[in-house]
Amino acid sequence: MNKLNVKGERLIALFLLGNVLFNYPVLALFNRTGTVFGIPVLYAYVFGAWALFIVLLARVVDKR
């Protein structure tokens, strides 16, 4: 397999992971009363998952 195909497959996998992370059933798991370091649990999850997604995306795109 050439590098372009592998990168494309990883980007597709990240797209699917993003759909799972930010879709209703998973978001409903974190829709609870309570806080994490003073931040509501749902907001902490969204921003944490978003940061993880950006890091993974940068690693796939910047891979040499």
CA distance 6 to 4: 6
Buried b (16+ CB within 10 A) or exposed e, 16-38: eeeeebeeeeeeeebeeeeeeee
Q: Quick one: tokens of 31?
A: 């829709």
63 contacts: CB under 8 Å, gap ≥ 6 = 7
**Rounded to 5°, angle at Cα 10 from 27 and 62:** 105
Spans of the chain, pLDDT less than 70: 63-64
The pLDDT, as a whole number, for residue 64 is 66
Place of tokens 């995306």: 57
